[in-house]
Structure 1
Amino acid sequence: MAARRAWAWRSRPTRTPSPKPPLAPVPCPYLPSCGRTLSWRNLAAWRDAQGPELYLTCLEYGQQLWLDGLPARALLAVDRALYCDVAPDHESVVAYPLPYAAIGWMVTQPADGFTGNARVHYQHIADRVRGERAELKRWRAWAAWAIVRKVRPDLPEDPKHAVVEPTASTIADGLTTHGIKGETETGEGCWVSTLELTLDVSHEPARRPLTTHRHRSDRAPRRRSGRENSGKP
């Protein structure tokens, strides 16, 4: 009877636990939410203006893409806002300063959907940008690159891309010459303040620890039994 009960227990159907749903992305505290669904068409409507309307729309679209679990595309939308032609006293910029802090926040989040290397991404833009307002875009790309280097020192450079990496003071000079008023001053949303903030590692989120496996030679020696010590088979 006991054997039959044991067999019935072993033969019972097992229930596979349901996988835990992925955690919803946390909204970026430095980006606005517009409360409506956006698409690339909303950005195309302001393509010729490249002004504050496009700036704010890009920031809103970046937040939407981030919450949709598309961090790489969200970063590109924020990049587009960074390169817009805006005045420092416009209400959009006053409410949501240039997105240096947003870039630093986004690249430190544990998002598995990121593709590529943000450090190399900005390095390539800075060295290869052409066209209208090229110098402005170049130095803002270098400014974003410097922030990424601070918050993600684990990201390697591109060994195949030969470029002279500017110092922080050189970037500040470039932003002073080609950027907007106050961009290199200390204050909320300014590049210098964002760069200094990233020096505090307490602002970086905890990362998933790497799983390590001990090498065979690192294992503790197996205790030999008395039978083995006696030399008997």
Structure 2
Amino acid sequence: MFGKAGDHNPGGTAIRKNTTPIQMLRNDDVGLDSKTRSFCLSSSHSSSPIMPQQTIPACPHLPQVTRQLRITHAREHRTACREAYYIACLELAQSLWQNKRPAQAILQLDKAMMANIPANSTTLDTHPIPYRAMLWFMINTPTGSFVGNPVRHFQHLASRMNLKQPQPELRTARAWACLHLAESVLSHEDYPRDQRQLNKENLEIPNRYAVKAALIERSPHQLEKTWFELAMSLAV
């Protein structure tokens, strides 16, 4: 059963407000900006026939995997960027998560949310847009695992979206949605917004109601607003 903020998962410690896990980025550290994302996504890791013994429980909102997947697992589907790419990113996120690499797992969920899935696709019947998985990662990140500053990461992702790629407005709305999920379960003191960017660029972050309106307007999936609202309700 999906846990609320503060619930404990076997093998993991919930990241709760006013809690500072070891090795997390602090206020003056750089979040998961483009350079960090490039480093994480370009890292090469060999595959293993089975999962290593020292793994953590799987996320119940993602496909189950039995092997440690290569970081290039989704690459062959990237050009099409459709259902196969979406599922491959979810699978890789699960593999990275179980191998105690939550920051990279979050990046794979970012990539899954950028897939161009048509309205009539049945893929989302089984694996909806992964708002609940994103929230689950942030709640259940084990103490000592590197997760960066998800709030700052989503702020940068939303405000620096590549407008030349397909459906940039929808991708931006999803990134803002994830920022609100992060802020609902993480300490504002330990995981702040990038105030310097806000001031320098006169950037205004849309509230969750504006985000829901954008999802309704931009998403081809009628249930997307509901998926986001469900995740938010579990975070409170």
> What TM-score, normalized by structure 1, do the two folds share?
0.70
Measure, in 1, the Cα distance between the counterparts of 2:65 and 2:58: 12
Q: Percent identity?
A: 27
Measure, in 2, the Cα distance between the counterparts of 1:41 and 1:181: 28
**Is 1:197 paired with 2:234?**
yes
**Is 1:166 paired with 2:206?**
yes
Higher relative contact order (CA 8 A, sep 6+): 2
Which of the residues 159, 164, 184 maps onto 1:150?
Answer: 184
Report the more deviating stretch, 106-115 or 162-171: 106-115
- Secondary structure class of the residue paired with 1:40: coil
- The runs of 5 or more residues in structure 1 that have no matched partner are 1-21, 200-233
What is the letter of the counterpart of residue 179 of structure 2? W
Give 2:98's aligned residue.
Answer: 67
Which of the residues 37, 48, 73 maps onto 2:79?
Answer: 48
What is the letter of the counterpart of residue 178 of structure 2? A
- The runs of 5 or more residues in structure 2 that have no matched partner are 1-52
Measure, in 1, the Cα distance between the counterparts of 2:147 and 2:109: 16
The answer to whether the 8 Å contact 1:58/1:81 transfers is: yes
Rg: which structure is higher? 1
Give 1:136's aligned residue.
Answer: 170
Give 1:125's aligned residue.
Answer: 157
**Is 1:27 paired with 2:58?**
yes
The structural deviation recorded for 1:40 is 3.1
The answer to whether the 8 Å contact 2:102/2:141 transfers is: no
The answer to whether the 8 Å contact 1:175/1:183 transfers is: no
- Secondary structure class of the residue paired with 2:140: coil
After superposition, the C-alpha distances for 1:68-119 in whole angstroms (9 at most, x for unaligned) are: 1111111111111111111354232111111000000101124222242000
Measure, in 2, the Cα distance between the counterparts of 1:77 and 1:170: 25
- Secondary structure class of the residue paired with 1:41: coil
The answer to whether the 8 Å contact 1:87/1:180 transfers is: yes
After superposition, the C-alpha distances for 1:142-198 in whole angstroms (9 at most, x for unaligned) are: 011111111114321112111201111110111111113224443xxx111111221
What is the letter of the counterpart of residue 127 of structure 1? S
Any runs of at least 4 consecutive aligned residues in structure 1 with deviations exceeding 6 A, and if so which? none
What is the letter of the counterpart of residue 157 of structure 1? R
- Secondary structure class of the residue paired with 1:30: coil
What is the letter of the counterpart of residue 153 of structure 2? H
The answer to whether the 8 Å contact 1:88/1:94 transfers is: no
The answer to whether the 8 Å contact 2:212/2:225 transfers is: no
Which of the residues 148, 161, 168 maps onto 1:116?
Answer: 148
| Cα distance change of structure 1 residues 183 and 140 upon mapping to structure 2, 3 Å threshold | farther
Give 2:10's aligned residue.
Answer: none
| Cα distance change of structure 1 residues 26 and 137 upon mapping to structure 2, 3 Å threshold | same
What is the letter of the counterpart of residue 44 of structure 1? R
- Secondary structure class of the residue paired with 1:144: helix
- RMSD over aligned Cα, in angstroms? 1.9
